[in-house]
Structure 1
């Protein structure tokens, strides 16, 4: 049966949106795996390691070259929009007002799993197949360590909405800690991607970005809210292009484009709707393109073993770091454990971070697959661990410290 490229593309879109939704809705997975997590798992299952291995002919037919090119274009823009919104949602001002508590907690919540993940990476590098062709050992170790330490702010927001604690004092505390860690992620990424052959171009980008930020902030203050959204998207595209041209990756530019703007210019309710629309309407395409990058070349058992090692480093390091902060700050009993589990959410931001490392050939597809499995497992643990704690101690939600 002959099908046009358009028909094949639409068939791929139909599969991408239908499969995960049916699993999520009919399987009632929401407690363990929200729709976004099911979509990520769906991307892995539709990738070459599963669907491509079981039905190679069908996989080659549906996900042929022209279809992949079209899907990748949608995925790039989708994730840029998502990261831009993540940058907009940062509330650095509140973190500064509570800087001692926020700094200690965010620092330990990031630093301890970063060290644990880096040690796990060193163990992995003793075996072949984990370092990319263009990656130095220090880049691989720092990249994997940071992937274990990251907290996905947008997914954290979604899960706290589900737990009905987002606007409560506990939720605002957790957002402060995650916001600082979010900034650190992109700073570490810029360090990893620093290219001494293009350092002049990268310095030029930073200087130009600073000047352009001053200009865009003045412009956005002067125009109506509807125009701010459109101009904001133009600003996003320009920053993404400039950062990629400078060698820092378009995703660094997307995050910076949002981080330097004030969220209240765009309206909180409207931002929430926009984020939900992006998640529902086009991010599933990104999850599929992510799944297409998963590989099991070093052996399925080795990839799962690496994922388990990284999960222990990530979960254990995060819980230990927050527990240390709780002792230093004399938190009430139960706070550290609940906050430690809430900060386990990784999924999207870690996957984006790992995708960049993969695109730059710092890590291999097998390393990416192990990191992806770790991120999904870590995120799926969050609600089952936190929900019973909130039920046992309702006062926990009201503690804003």
Structure 2
């Protein structure tokens, strides 16, 4: 078995790559990519904060798109191909999965289950509404979209396309939502917990629907059965035994006076196993990470663990995912008035369907008007999970590059507007009335 990968002839500085790229040469390319990715994410993230008031994570998402063919590849195609050769993308893919999985584990560490229990009714109502109404809208507009060639696979049935579009419109960017909530100081607030709870249910439902589409589109019925059944069994097991199995870690911390290397190793092994379980079931590694984090002992243990893992995860790893997605986004494909009109319709329907449904559900379950508007604004952020589901759809041949790019535009716009809209309808008033401290970072 050869240890090389066949690639076109390239010249990377002093690196001469002939007919093959060896693991060492892949390593050289990867570290060059990593430097470019980190610089781009820092610069674009800073610009987004400075001039648009956006969280760092939103700037990182835009930076990922900029590094792809939509900007970097358009302005300097040879240089872009040199830094990001196709043969290196499997490495970025693995790094991206590690990033989002580990980040969602950190989110789970801060998840306040007591708030979830106290607001379970509101969370369930917001989530169900935030899934049902977008699906209704998707079922109405998808037959019209199918009339335009080059958006969906030719052999895709109408109902399959409707289910996929419904999942795309209904999904909430759970990791993105969590990071926005964290940066706005809402992590331990009732509103933040309500939004995270509803977002978690939304995403789980969307992944189950996606599993059904994949099963009908050639994956076989076992794909849907394994995904839905596996997720249910995993959630029940972790709910019943997760806390008991992880409780000794907190005792080890008390005994050692901190989280030791062996305790950290146990945690990372458990994370890898949970991510593996959800990935092999067909849901996604992020849910394995989140559920594990949610059942971990709370208090000093979870806070210390988060302090150890969060900087490397957020600063070093997460940008890999945004770049991997950006490398598959070609906004230049939206190059006709018809496609531009389709993009506007999808954007308008997505915003209205998700935001209005979540707002109405929150109001009907007793939330005040400002809280309900804040929920509607936050639930409209789709960035991270939308990119994941779109990548799966593109890789499996469900959608074509043109629709992929249109949906990426929708993901970016809805995520960009989430923070400012939340500040407008809730954040400023909450700080003025003392519901949020004045020292909260206003992103």
TM-score normalized with structure 1 length? 0.82
The whole-number CA distance in structure 2 between the counterparts of 1:207 and 1:326 is 26
Gaps (5+ residues) in structure 2?
A: 1-12, 17-24, 254-258, 437-443
Computing the radius of gyration over CA atoms, which structure comes out larger, 1 or 2?
Answer: 2
The whole-number CA distance in structure 2 between the counterparts of 1:391 and 1:212 is 41
The whole-number CA distance in structure 2 between the counterparts of 1:378 and 1:206 is 28
The whole-number CA distance in structure 2 between the counterparts of 1:27 and 1:243 is 34
Are positions 1:352 and 2:352 aligned together? no
Structure 1, 225-234 or 365-374: larger mean CA deviation: 225-234
Gaps (5+ residues) in structure 1?
A: none
1:81-106 deviation digits (Å, cap 9, x = unpaired)? 23444566666664344333332222
Asked if the contact 2:142/2:161 (under 8 Å) is kept, the reply is: yes
Match of 1:263 among 275, 293, 296: 296
TM-fit CA distance, 1:137: 3.4
Match of 1:237 among 254, 259, 272: 272
Matches within 5 A, 1:32-181: 32-86=53-107, 94-132=115-153, 135-181=156-202
* Secondary structure at 1:129 match in 2: coil
The whole-number CA distance in structure 2 between the counterparts of 1:142 and 1:391 is 38
Match of 2:346 among 289, 310, 315: 310
Matches within 5 A, 1:304-343: 304-343=340-379
The whole-number CA distance in structure 2 between the counterparts of 1:165 and 1:147 is 26
1:285/1:29 Cα in 2 relative to 1: closer, same or farther (>3 Å)? same
The whole-number CA distance in structure 2 between the counterparts of 1:340 and 1:215 is 34
Pairwise CA RMSD = 3.5
TM-score normalized with structure 2 length? 0.76
Instruction: State the partner residue of 1:374.
Output: 410
Asked if the contact 2:387/2:408 (under 8 Å) is kept, the reply is: yes
Asked if the contact 1:236/1:258 (under 8 Å) is kept, the reply is: no
Asked if the contact 2:55/2:183 (under 8 Å) is kept, the reply is: no
The whole-number CA distance in structure 1 between the counterparts of 2:156 and 2:271 is 28
1:67/1:172 Cα in 2 relative to 1: closer, same or farther (>3 Å)? closer
TM-fit CA distance, 1:232: 4.1
1:114/1:93 Cα in 2 relative to 1: closer, same or farther (>3 Å)? farther
Match of 2:309 among 270, 274, 283: 274
Higher relative contact order (CA 8 A, sep 6+): 1
